[in-house]
């Protein structure tokens, strides 16, 4: 196994940290292009989120971002919501970050998550777009369950 695929498995484990008791699929087993008509396809959901850049991609190619809670995130256990957290985002193939992105920057970004068709497990995920936000943007890193509630 290459170091790249081992890294993907670790990233997948990170991504699923919000979910409980799920079985991680083997990495890169499925793709958008089904090899045969009856081969399983993936269901892809794109999430657009705001966050703060923690670290630029290192040798393994992952961007680290502290992201706001994602109430609509679909977990493999059927529950919705991913809490605010710092996590790595592998860049989509062929994607390069704008030169101006630096640690500490506030960003709005979109990542695509591939699930098996019935959403019961995650296959992979990648960052597909990123834009810088004004430095004075107020981000909300409060936990998921407290958002939208009066104190």
67-87 CB burial, b ≥16 within 10 A, e <16: bbbbeebbbbeeeeebbbbeb
The reply to whether 82 sits near Cu ion by the rule CB under 5 A is: yes
Please state the closest distance from residue 82 (CB atom) to Cu ion, in A: 5
Please state the closest distance from residue 65 (CB atom) to Cu ion, in A: 9
**2 or 46: CB nearest Cu ion:** 46
How many chain residues interact with Cu ion (CB under 5 A)?
3
> Which range, of 34-42, 45-53, 74-82, 120-128, touches Cu ion by CB under 5 A?
74-82
**47 or 57: CB nearest Cu ion:** 47
Please state the closest distance from residue 33 (CB atom) to Cu ion, in A: 27
Contact 63, 57 (CB under 8 A): yes
- Identify residues 100-139 at the interface with Cu ion (CB under 5 A): none
Please state the closest distance from residue 84 (CB atom) to Cu ion, in A: 8
Contact 73, 110 (CB under 8 A): no
Please state the closest distance from residue 11 (CB atom) to Cu ion, in A: 11
- Identify residues 83-102 at the interface with Cu ion (CB under 5 A): 85, 87
Compute the distance between CA of residue 125 and CA of residue 14 in angstroms, rounded to an integer. 11
Compute the distance between CA of residue 30 and CA of residue 114 in angstroms, rounded to an integer. 9
Binding site for Cu ion (CB under 5 A): 82, 85, 87
């Amino acid at each position: 196994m290459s170091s790249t695929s081992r890294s993907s498995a670790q990233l997948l484990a990170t991504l699923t940290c919000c979910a409980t008791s799920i079985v991680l699929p083997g990495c890169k087993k499925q793709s958008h292009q089904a090899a045969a008509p009856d081969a399983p396809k993936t269901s892809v959901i794109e999430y657009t989120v705001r966050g703060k850049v923690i670290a630029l991609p290192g040798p393994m190619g992952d961007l680290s971002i502290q992201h706001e809670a994602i109430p609509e995130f679909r977990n493999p256990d059927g529950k919705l919501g991913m809490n605010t957290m710092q996590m790595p985002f592998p860049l989509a193939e062929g994607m390069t970050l704008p030169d101006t992105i630096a640690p500490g920057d506030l960003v709005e970004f979109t990542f695509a998550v591939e699930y098996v068709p019935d959403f019961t497990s995650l296959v992979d995920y990648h960052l597909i777009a990123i834009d810088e936000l004004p430095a004075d943007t107020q981000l909300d890193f409060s936990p998921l369950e407290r958002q939208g509630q009066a104190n």
